Chains A and B, each alone.
Chain A
Amino acid sequence: MKRPSVLVLLLGCLCLTRIAAAAPQTYFYPFVNPYEATVMELPEFFEVRLPEKVPTRHFTLRVFPEREIPEVFWYEDGLGCTLAYQDHEAPLVFLIAGTGSSHTSPRMVRLQKAFYQGGFHVISLTSPTHMDFVVNASTGLPGNSPDDARDLYRVMELAYRKVRGTIKVSYFALSGYSLGAFNAAFVARLDEEKKVFDFRRVLLMNPPVSLYDAVSSLDRLLVENIPGGTEKFDQWFRDVLAKLSWVTKDMGHMELSGDFLYNAYKRLQPSEENLAALIGLSFRMSSANMVFTADVMNGGGYIVPKNLRLTPSTSLTRYAIVSYGTRFVDYFDELLFPSCRQREPGLTRQALLERLSLRSLEPYLSSAGKIGLIHNEDDIILMPGEIDYLRGVFGKRARIFPTGGHMGNMLHPQVVSFALDFLTGKER
Chain B
Amino acid sequence: MGYAAERMVFAAIAVSVFVLLCGCSTLPGQTGQFVPPLRTYEATVKAGRPHMLEVPDSFEGFNRGVYRFNYYFDEYFFLPVVRTYEFILPDYVEDRISSAVDNIGEFGNLTNNLLQLKFKAAGITLSRIVINSTVGVAGLWDPADSWGLRRRTEDFGQTLGRYGVGHGSYLMLPALGPSTIRDTVGLAVDTAAFSFAGPGAWVDSTAASAAYSATAAVDKRHRIPFRYRQSGSPFEYELLRMLYTMKRDYDIAD
A307 adjacent to chain B (CB < 8 Å):
yes
Interface hits, A198-242 → B, CB 8 Å: 234, 237-238, 241-242
- State which of B61-69, B125-133, B160-168, B203-211 sits at the interface with chain A: B61-69
B20 adjacent to chain A (CB < 8 Å):
no
Interface hits, B218-253 → A, CB 8 Å: 223-226, 228-240, 243, 246-247, 250-251
Q: Is the CB of A301 within 8 A of B37?
A: yes
Q: Mark B167-191, 1 if CB is under 8 A from A, else 0.
A: 0000000000000000000000000
B238 contact from A101, A286, A320, Cβ within 8 A: A320
Q: A75-B71, A313-B25, A317-B53 are in contact. Are A302 and B37 (CB under 8 A)?
A: yes
A residues near B239, Cβ cutoff 8 Å: 256
A246 contact from B37, B246, B250, Cβ within 8 A: B250
B residues near A295, Cβ cutoff 8 Å: 37
- State which of B2-10, B38-46, B77-85, B88-96 sits at the interface with chain A: B38-46
Q: Is the CB of B225 within 8 A of A307?
A: no
Q: A74-B68, A256-B239 are in contact. Are A321 and B45 (CB under 8 A)?
A: yes
A residues near B30, Cβ cutoff 8 Å: 307-309
B residues near A72, Cβ cutoff 8 Å: 234
Task: Pick from B24, B41, B233 the residue with the most CB of A within 10 Å.
Answer: B233
Q: Closest chain B residue to A256 by CB distance?
A: B231
B226 contact from A101, A255, A300, Cβ within 8 A: A255
Tell me how far the C-beta of B19 lies from the nearest C-beta in chain A, rounded to whole angstroms.
13
Q: Is the CB of A307 within 8 A of B32?
A: yes
Q: Is the CB of B37 within 8 A of A256?
A: no
Q: A131-B234, A252-B223 are in contact. Are A302 and B38 (CB under 8 A)?
A: yes
- State which of A49-57, A166-174, A322-330, A347-355 sits at the interface with chain B: A322-330
Tell me how far the C-beta of B62 lies from the nearest C-beta in chain A, rounded to whole angstroms.
8
Q: A242-B250, A255-B225 are in contact. Are A304 and B65 (CB under 8 A)?
A: no
Q: Is the CB of A253 within 8 A of B39?
A: no
A3 adjacent to chain B (CB < 8 Å):
no
B residues near A100, Cβ cutoff 8 Å: 232
Q: Is the CB of A321 within 8 A of B230?
A: no
Number of interface residues of B (CB under 8 A): 56
B residues near A254, Cβ cutoff 8 Å: 243, 247
Q: Is the CB of A293 within 8 A of B234?
A: yes
Q: Mark B46-63, 1 if CB is under 8 A from A, else 0.
A: 000001111001001110
Q: Is the CB of A306 within 8 A of B32?
A: yes
- A102–B234 Cα gap in the complex (Å)? 14
Q: Closest chain B residue to A285 by CB distance?
A: B233
B234 contact from A234, A292, A318, Cβ within 8 A: A292
Q: Is the CB of B225 within 8 A of A131?
A: no
Interface hits, B72-123 → A, CB 8 Å: none
A residues near B225, Cβ cutoff 8 Å: 253, 255
A305 adjacent to chain B (CB < 8 Å):
yes
Q: Is the CB of A313 within 8 A of B64?
A: yes
Q: Mark B130-158, 1 if CB is under 8 A from A, else 0.
A: 00000000000000000000000000000
A310 adjacent to chain B (CB < 8 Å):
yes
- A310–B62 Cα gap in the complex (Å)? 15
Q: Is the CB of A289 within 8 A of B39?
A: no
B26 contact from A234, A246, A304, A313, Cβ within 8 A: A313
Q: Is the CB of B33 within 8 A of A307?
A: yes
B residues near A292, Cβ cutoff 8 Å: 234-235
- A423–B226 Cα gap in the complex (Å)? 36
Q: Is the CB of B32 within 8 A of A334?
A: no
Q: Is the CB of A322 within 8 A of B234?
A: no
Tell me how far the C-beta of B55 lies from the nearest C-beta in chain A, rounded to whole angstroms.
8
Q: Closest chain A residue to B250 by CB distance?
A: A245
B202 adjacent to chain A (CB < 8 Å):
no
- A101–B230 Cα gap in the complex (Å)? 11
A29 adjacent to chain B (CB < 8 Å):
no
Q: Closest chain B residue to A286 by CB distance?
A: B232
B residues near A246, Cβ cutoff 8 Å: 250, 254
Show 23 residue pairs from A and B whose CB-CB distance is below 8 angstroms, ordered by the A residue: A100-B232, A241-B250, A245-B247, A253-B223, A256-B230, A256-B233, A257-B231, A285-B233, A301-B37, A302-B37, A305-B37, A307-B34, A307-B35, A313-B22, A313-B64, A315-B64, A317-B54, A320-B53, A320-B235, A320-B238, A322-B41, A324-B235, A330-B39
What would 9 more interface pairs be, CB under 8 Å, given A74-B68, A242-B250, A320-B234?
A: A73-B234, A245-B250, A246-B250, A256-B231, A285-B233, A308-B34, A316-B237, A320-B235, A334-B39
Chain A residues engaging chain B, CB cutoff 8 angstroms = 72-75, 100-102, 104, 130-132, 234, 237-238, 241-242, 245-246, 252-257, 285-286, 288-289, 292-293, 295-296, 300-326, 330, 334-335
Chain B residues engaging chain A, CB cutoff 8 angstroms = 22, 24-41, 44-45, 51-54, 57, 60-62, 64-65, 68, 71, 223-226, 228-240, 243, 246-247, 250-251, 254
Nearest 5 CB-CB pairings of A with B: A307-B32, A309-B29, A306-B35, A320-B235, A318-B41
